[in-house]
Amino acid sequence: MTNKPFFKWAGSKYRVLPHILPLIGTPTRYIEPFAGSLSVALNVVALEYILNDFNNDLIDVYKCVMYSTGFINDCEKYFTANNNDIAFYYFRNEFNNTIMDARHRAILFVYLNRHCFNGLTRYNKSGEFNVPFGKYKSPYFPRKEMENFISVFSGQFVEFSAGDFAADELYQSVDSRTVVYFDPPYLPLTDTANFSDYATGGFDYDDQVRLRDLAVSLANRGARVIISNHDTPVARELYSSAQITSIDVGRFIAAKGTSRKKVKEVLAVWN
C-alpha cells in the first residue's frame, strides 16, 4: 500500500509511483530538491531524507506537522463551518498579510490548499496567494495522511529546507549511495500551459539548463539522478546524455473535464 500525501498538488507523482520507485530503489540517502506534495519521498525507504522546495510556505507546513504540538488539531478547526467564499477570501487575505507568525500561516496554507480551486498553489508578482475559492461540497481534512506523514519520517534523519534547488548544502554528502530525484516545474507543452508560478519568480529555460548541468555533475560524483519532465523535443535534447523512458500521465489541472487528458512525460536517469 502506498502512502498518500496530505496536500492536493498540481503535478503530483502519486499516480506514477510504479514507474518512479523502481528507479529509486532503497538508497542510503534520498534527496528531493523540488519537494511538492512529497508523494515520492513518502514512499521511498531510505536512512536519510533531504527535502527541499523553493516554496517556503510548503516547507513551513512540513516542519509544523513534524515538530509543532497540536498543529493537526489546529488545522482541523478551520475545516468547520468555513466552506464558503466569504470565509475563504477572509482567510486568504489573512494569509497574505501574515508574515511573522509562521505557524499560523502554515495552518492557513493547509486550509487554502483544500478549499481553493483545484488545490492549486499560485502567487502573483507581489508574492500573494491568488487562487480563487474552489466551491467544493465538503472539503476533506487529511488527518489520516498528516498523521501518516509523521509516522513515515519519525525516527529517520530528515532535513527540510526552503531555497534554490542547486544550493550547495543539499549535496554536501552526495556519493554512490545517494539518489536525487528532481521534479521541477515542467517545460510547457504550449505557450499558455506553463504553471511555473507556484512560487514567486517562476522557472525558465535557463533554470532547466542549470538543472540538467547539476544532474550531470551529481551523476559524475556517483549518485543516481532522475528528472521528470514533459516529453517534448526540448526535454529530449536537454537530457540526451541520460537514459530516457517515456510514460503516459493523467493531467488534472485543466478547468474543463474534456481537457483533462493523458500527456507523455519523460523520466531521465543518469547512472
Least confident of 74-88, 160-174, 175-189, 252-266: 252-266
Mapping DSSP to helix (H, G, I), strand (E, B) and coil, where does residue 89 land? helix
Please check the confidence at residue 200 and state whether its pLDDT lies above 70. Answer: no
Report which of 252, 171, 262 is spatially closest to residue 211, judged by C-alpha positions: 171
Contact 12, 3 (CB under 8 A): no
Rounded CA-CA distance 183/268 in Å is 11
CB atoms within 10 A of CB 256: 6
For residues 227 and 202, which has the higher predicted lDDT (pLDDT)? Answer: 227
Please check the confidence at residue 197 and state whether its pLDDT lies above 50. Answer: no
Please check the confidence at residue 201 and state whether its pLDDT lies above 90. Answer: no
Report which of 207, 241, 173 is spatially closest to residue 34, judged by C-alpha positions: 207
Rounded CA-CA distance 236/230 in Å is 9
The three three-digit cell numbers of residue 5, written as one number: 500525501
pLDDT of 129-165, one tens digit each? 999 999 999 999 999 999 999 999 998 899 999 999 9
pLDDT class of 198 with cuts at 50, 70, 90: very low
Percent of the chain exceeding pLDDT 90 equals: 85
Separation of first and last alpha carbons in the chain: 28
Rounded CA-CA distance 40/4 in Å is 9
Please check the confidence at residue 95 and state whether its pLDDT lies above 70. Answer: yes
Rounded CA-CA distance 228/244 in Å is 10
The angle subtended at Cα 128 by Cα 125 and Cα 134, nearest 5°, is 115
Report which of 132, 140, 141, 138 is spatially closest to residue 85, judged by C-alpha positions: 132
For residues 186 and 189, which has the higher predicted lDDT (pLDDT)? Answer: 186
Contact 108, 102 (CB under 8 A): no
Mean pLDDT of 211-229: 98
pLDDT of 1-37, one tens digit each? 899 999 999 889 999 999 999 999 999 999 999 999 9
- The alpha carbon of residue 207 and the mean position of all alpha carbons in its chain are separated, in whole angstroms, by 17
Residue with cell 491568488: 130
- Which residues have a Cβ under 8 Å from the Cβ of 250 and sit 6 or more positions away? 15, 260, 261, 262
Mean pLDDT of 54-81: 97
Residues in the chain, total: 271
pLDDT class of 191 with cuts at 50, 70, 90: low
Please check the confidence at residue 194 and state whether its pLDDT lies above 90. Answer: no
Mean pLDDT of 253-260: 51
Mean pLDDT of 41-47: 98
CB environment 66-78: b (16+ within 10 A), e (fewer): eebeebbebbbeb
User: CA distances (Å), 91 to each of 28, 47, 255, in order?
Assistant: 41, 38, 23
